[in-house]
Amino acid sequence: MGKKRVITKTGEDIGKIEEKPTSIKTKDLLKKHLEKGRIYICASYNNTLISATDLKGNVIAWSSAGSLGFKGPKKATPFAASKVVAILMEKVKKVGLKTAEIYVKGIGGGRETAIRSLANQGLDIILIKDVTPIPHNGPRPPKPRRV
């Protein structure tokens, strides 16, 4: 572990207190009343992740199928995605989010169901954008087989 060092300060050093830059915390965000925000949906073959942010990108709330107790291939089902949206909307109602831009990433099964569930929960949707990464050329193909 090493030796412990005790540093003593004089009276002049104690008077000088440096203020550290503070980051925005979730408690501060919950105190705010947000009208607009962004919702990011990541629907993969293995899981469905949904996070809600303000317009600057600070995360307000998030939820995933794995955190709700779904295991294995059940995490990527449309049913799990609808449950994730229901839990997320409970968290977001505290902030007062009413309109949102939706960004969808991935090709999982819960992708469309998550969007429909958000609309059914009473959220006004301004924009739906697909931000799934598309390979332009991909990796090098394998060499042809020699027999």
Stated pTM of the model: 0.74
Domains in the chain with CATH codes: 25-130 (3.30.420.80)
The pLDDT tens digits of the residues spanning 43-93 come to 999 999 999 999 999 999 999 999 999 999 999 999 999 999 999 999 998
Mean pLDDT of all residues in the chain? Answer: 86
**48 vs 39: CA distance, rounded Å:** 13
**118 vs 116: CA distance, rounded Å:** 5
Torsion of CA 92, 93, 99, 103, to 10 degrees: 20
